[in-house]
Structure 1
Amino acid sequence: MEDLTPTNTSLDTTTTNNDTTSDREAAPTTLNLTPTASESENSLSPVTAEDLIAKSIKEGCPKRTSNDFMFLQSMGEGAYSQVFRCREVATDAMFAVKVLQKSYLNRHQKMDAIIREKNILTYLSQECGGHPFVTQLYTHFHDQARIYFVIGLVENGDLGESLCHFGSFDMLTSKFFASEILTGLQFLHDNKIVHRDMKPDNVLIQKDGHILITDFGSAQAFGGLQLSQEGFTDANQASSRSSDSGSPPPTRFYSDEEVPEENTARRTTFVGTALYVSPEMLADGDVGPQTDIWGLGCILFQCLAGQPPFRAVNQYHLLKRIQELDFSFPEGFPEEASEIIAKILVRDPSTRITSQELMAHKFFENVDWVNIANIKPPVLHAYIPATFGEPEYYSNIGPVEPGLDDRALFRLMNLGNDASASQPSTFRPSNVEHRGDPFVSEIAPRANSEAEKNRAARAQKLEEQRVKNPFHIFTNNSLILKQGYLEKKRGLFARRRMFLLTEGPHLLYIDVPNLVLKGEVPWTPCMQVELKNSGTFFIHTPNRVYYLFDLEKKADEWCKAINDVRKRYSVTIEKTFNSAMRDGTFGSIYGKKKSRKEMMREQKALRRKQEKEEKKALKAEQVSKKLSMQMDKKSP
């Protein structure tokens, strides 16, 4: 992935696929990613982005260049794009700007797809009038090196992030998300657009809690709709429907050869995310509205169960399961939801339930489709559904918004801006020198003899752990303070893991049969441990809630041990957090799950270290025996 941050380029004319620029075009400038004090985001804006987008729908996209926006912060990046949080200079309105590198698009034959995405967004916003649950385009422009899409700013993350954080949702919340997604899809389908990549990551959650369908990079027209084929030229930077132009608004038109007699779908090649792709996409068959309905069914399943309906060890087996419709409803899955999902996840799209039939289904009988955009969205809570003989649990800790923007961080952390001068090498607090038992205060001992005694006691415990405990290889030579099997639940699914609470601090969980480190619970100043009953407790972190069940009914002991360690290492944890906040690495580091390859590399490194230590100890033992034998020979 190339760095998409614009740099100064010349004004020489260049020509690419369906794309020309001229000397009249403003030269791109370096994006200023560091706002000054005068650019505070708390500035009062007389005009909102929503007002400007509504105006652009009526009058056409205003002509803009990169100089018209202050690029404040990178919000994330995709395969060939990067999204920035921006302020329009003239209005102070906040937008999201998607930036694409032309050279990358041309090199990977993606330019036609981006032109299609631009024309679909323009068509949906200006010709179709936009929809509250569908991304709306404010404007688009390009320079010699890059293409820019300016859209509404959504800072509450997406449905995928919320599912990652909370695991699953209750029936009311799941039905809410499904109904709004269905409403947005109905708008697309009524206007002859199929999204083709419906997944939780492409469903944004707005500040008011309503959803927004986004990312039309895979979208296509169907049913004979012929969209504009206009590429990125000087002409399309001007207002496409200016009030003084006197030209009528563009209208949709159909080509005779593309209007099918009966079938309104079109053939396609496989695009989208494998977990949510439909059978007809895999078969390179006819794709239409029913393809998006399939994606909706997968999303609803995941909202209730905590996992997508189709899962496998690799993509080959995953796609095979989708083609064979090999899925099942887990224990505890709501019967009313399983009935409607069974009508959605049908191999033949012609027999799949339609959006109109879905809206009329009893599952959505209490939904006010006319006023759906005005209803109050449910508040998201940490929640675990009833399963395995356990009742459902809601968190008693106040509801939080998913995501790691500044508002969420300072609300959760309640910390100031003063940061420690220390620079941690990783996100995990580094091991410190321990004096004696880890639960003994780390205040300097009263006497050197006491310090030596404590160090010797710890060294003895660590040596016993190295010899007797098979999980020592995962601890990086840290003392294990507590360990035991816990059921780690996510929605209706559970995994039995060995949890290790160690010095550092670290809270690791291990897949014992495969002897693989699966992950680590991140330590932050806002970590909260919530005891539900003798066998159940939650651990709240910024990126995720961990739902843990102790079959030995000693959840209170786990909560006490974790809280004791958190208090003991509070200074270290806060220093690490402050440094990460100052360096801007918090969102990409804290709570980030390691890839399997990273875990395997770390595991192999630990094993190599252990083998090296064992060889060293063996060699020392052999030398000792040899010296002993020599001494025995010399003795009379």
Structure 2
Amino acid sequence: MAVVSDSFPVSPQHRMIPGPIDGSFDGASFSSHQASSGSTSSGTSDGSSPRSDPKAASAEQDGIVPDTADSENRRTSSDVQDRAADPPKLPVTTKRTPDDFIFEKVIGEGSFSTVYLARDIHTSKQWAIKVCEKMHIKREKKEKSIMREKEIMQLLGLHPSPFFVKLFCSFPDQYRLYFVMTYAKNGEILPYIHKVGCFDAECTKFYGGEVILALEHLHKLGIIHRDLKPENILLNEHMHILITDFGSAKLDNLPDVVEVAASSGDEDLPGARPRRNSFVGTADYVSPELLTNKDATRTVDLWALGCFLYQLLAGLPPFRAPNEYLIFQKIIKLEYSFPDGFNPVAKDLVAKLLVKNSKERLGSDAMGGYPVLKSHPFFEELEWETLHTIKPPAITPYLPASGDNEELRSDIVISPNIKPGFDEKQLSRLLDLQLREGSGLKPSDSKSNDSGGAKGTILDISPEDYAERLAVQAKNNQWHPFVDNHLILKQGFIDKRKGLFARRRMFLLTTGPHFYYVDPVSMVLKGEIPWSANMRPEPKNFKTFFVHTPNRTYYLEDQQGYALEWCRVLEEVRALTFDKRVGSSEQGKETKELKNSI
């Protein structure tokens, strides 16, 4: 796979000029095409090609060709130019229809489209198919937006880069439009941020570097994404990025479509005031100039890059508020701060990207462009030319250093070659061993008895004792209203960490089991850590412990120093509840029987 080189020329004839769309969407503008092969459909309703190269236009076919995504990723810019100038003769095949795919599940939803995971019945290859309802498109007047997205993806197909979702083909039926695209098997990067809390410097450098290469490629082609955010950064089967969703993108130096405020969601409305730039994108990542009607240039993507790097390292976006209006006010006033422990070199980088004057942002033409951005010390020793071929660093649970606390990482898998010494890592290993060996729980201990739990354990409560304790709790414990009439087994104030941010919460471990947490200031139930057989508490030191769940790792700090006790109790309840059982249905049945017996 190769990225288009710095010397790659982008002449005006390479641009995709929007063509008209008739109201029925049944013209050639949405016929099947080979976007990633360098031979695309015209994009016009009369079937004529918008490109100046007649040979490229002659390569149009009625059908689609077999997938060549792997070979396309290895093409160089010169290969693309050679093929555009003298395209090979492609076999004519039957046009694709929805009947050529098995639609397996929904993997994404937008304002006027749904994305499905689908399998080609002929090749068994998986695709992501974006399905747009024609009636909805017409009602919301999104015709130009749909055409713009398609044309930009066609342009990226002509000038391939490994960092983008590719459009394989598109076709209509009577009621819908279908766009067959690359399937990113590992989904969005956002859930990975949520799962581990934040990324370490190595992961941030790698994924930040790939996004920079992607933006550099886009901007050379004159494309402004305008909605770069973690939800639009996907991960392929090798954990490299694939940027998607060009619904808000535009081609630079071409008139933008008429748009109004994003809250209305309409285009081309009668009487709407035309303007070149308008608010698009997502509140957390939108740049100040898009909020103040100033000229929007490629630097809006550099602003979004700064927000992305901040969120990777801190765990949350830089501009946060209860509602979009307050977020916008903070963006316009540049009101954000770096939490304690933020990487100092990355802090300098982010501060040079989150600049109100777009011309002064690192990476802008006025500041020396992408070479200067890529030479920032944070990206020192990053191998830019071969980044797309390098194995990405592992994304693992990680708690960054803050205040007097050192950074902590998960040591669930312990190497047999134990190193000498007594540092934080060795302490974590010993505490975890103490938890596993000292709990005294064996498989036979997990069997239930008539009292609802193994004898001598935390769940060993007779129905009479349960009823009596629950009555006292309802009368005297201020946290009882938050636990759905379950008996509280253990409670305490714990700092819940997300990246570099911490919030004090009252944690309530109850029968069921449930592990609730409550905001003690507003007295609002904020959430619950989900239980499963795969839940795993992991002590890191006497104050800090991790709770691993299938979809997320929670980072908790007990300032009183009872982390090991919390882990012991959580592991005991988990083992008693889930060991030797299949799924959570039997656990729910047992809890129900216990309540009924009271």
Q: Could you say which TM-score interval applies, normalised by the shorter chain?
A: 0.7 to 0.9
The equivalent of 2:135 in structure 1 is 103
Deviations 1:522-555 (Å, cap 9, x if unpaired)?
1112111111111111111111100011111111
Instruction: Please state whether the residue corresponding to 1:339 is helix, strand or coil.
Output: helix
What pairs with 1:214-613 in structure 2 (closer than 5 Å)? 214-224=244-254, 267-354=276-363, 355-398=370-413, 436=451, 440=455, 454-570=462-578, 574-576=582-584
Q: Which one-letter code corresponds to 2:140 in the other structure?
A: H
Deviations 1:66-113 (Å, cap 9, x if unpaired)?
122222222232222222122222222221111111111212222221
Instruction: Please state whether the residue corresponding to 1:117 is helix, strand or coil.
Output: helix
Distance in 2 (alpha carbons) for counterparts of 1:70 and 1:165: 31
For the structure 1 residues 578 and 194, does the alpha-carbon distance in structure 2 shift closer, same or farther, using more than 3 Å as the test?
farther
For the structure 1 residues 210 and 25, does the alpha-carbon distance in structure 2 shift closer, same or farther, using more than 3 Å as the test?
closer
Are 2:226 and 2:249, in contact at CA under 8 Å, matched by a contact in 1?
A: yes
The equivalent of 1:256 in structure 2 is none
Distance in 2 (alpha carbons) for counterparts of 1:440 and 1:579: 18
Match of 1:50 among 66, 69, 81: 69
For the structure 1 residues 455 and 161, does the alpha-carbon distance in structure 2 shift closer, same or farther, using more than 3 Å as the test?
same
Distance in 2 (alpha carbons) for counterparts of 1:508 and 1:282: 39
Are 1:508 and 1:521, in contact at CA under 8 Å, matched by a contact in 2?
A: yes
Distance in 2 (alpha carbons) for counterparts of 1:81 and 1:506: 37
Distance in 2 (alpha carbons) for counterparts of 1:572 and 1:515: 37
Distance in 2 (alpha carbons) for counterparts of 1:152 and 1:104: 24
- How much has 1:384 moved relative to structure 2? 0.6
Are 2:577 and 2:587, in contact at CA under 8 Å, matched by a contact in 1?
A: no
Distance in 1 (alpha carbons) for counterparts of 2:199 and 2:25: 45
Residues 1:184 and 2:214 aligned together: yes
Please list every run of 5 or more consecutive structure 2 residues that lacks an aligned counterpart in the other structure.
1-20, 33-65, 258-274, 364-369, 415-447, 589-598
Residues 1:83 and 2:115 aligned together: yes
How much identity, in percent, do the aligned residues show?
40
Are 1:52 and 1:138, in contact at CA under 8 Å, matched by a contact in 2?
A: no
TM-score of the two chains, using structure 1 as the length reference: 0.68
Are 1:274 and 1:318, in contact at CA under 8 Å, matched by a contact in 2?
A: yes
Instruction: Please state whether the residue corresponding to 1:524 is helix, strand or coil.
Output: coil
The equivalent of 2:241 in structure 1 is 211
Q: Which one-letter code corresponds to 1:273 in the other structure?
A: T
- How much has 1:439 moved relative to structure 2? 6.3
- How much has 1:220 moved relative to structure 2? 0.3
Distance in 2 (alpha carbons) for counterparts of 1:290 and 1:206: 27
- How much has 1:373 moved relative to structure 2? 1.2
Distance in 1 (alpha carbons) for counterparts of 2:576 and 2:313: 38
The equivalent of 1:237 in structure 2 is none
Total equivalences in the alignment? 465
* Alpha-carbon RMSD: 3.1
The equivalent of 2:223 in structure 1 is 193
Q: Which one-letter code corresponds to 2:394 in the other structure?
A: V
For the structure 1 residues 574 and 523, does the alpha-carbon distance in structure 2 shift closer, same or farther, using more than 3 Å as the test?
farther
Distance in 1 (alpha carbons) for counterparts of 2:181 and 2:330: 37
- How much has 1:578 moved relative to structure 2? 9.7
TM-score of the two chains, using structure 2 as the length reference: 0.72
- How much has 1:398 moved relative to structure 2? 4.6
Please list every run of 5 or more consecutive structure 1 residues that lacks an aligned counterpart in the other structure.
1-14, 27-46, 228-265, 400-432, 446-450, 581-636
Distance in 1 (alpha carbons) for counterparts of 2:188 and 2:327: 24
Distance in 2 (alpha carbons) for counterparts of 1:214 and 1:539: 32
- How much has 1:360 moved relative to structure 2? 2.4
Distance in 2 (alpha carbons) for counterparts of 1:173 and 1:54: 23
Distance in 1 (alpha carbons) for counterparts of 2:305 and 2:166: 21
Distance in 2 (alpha carbons) for counterparts of 1:391 and 1:18: 62
Instruction: Please state whether the residue corresponding to 1:299 is helix, strand or coil.
Output: helix
Distance in 2 (alpha carbons) for counterparts of 1:306 and 1:523: 23
Instruction: Please state whether the residue corresponding to 1:575 is helix, strand or coil.
Output: coil
Distance in 2 (alpha carbons) for counterparts of 1:223 and 1:360: 28
For the structure 1 residues 210 and 276, does the alpha-carbon distance in structure 2 shift closer, same or farther, using more than 3 Å as the test?
same
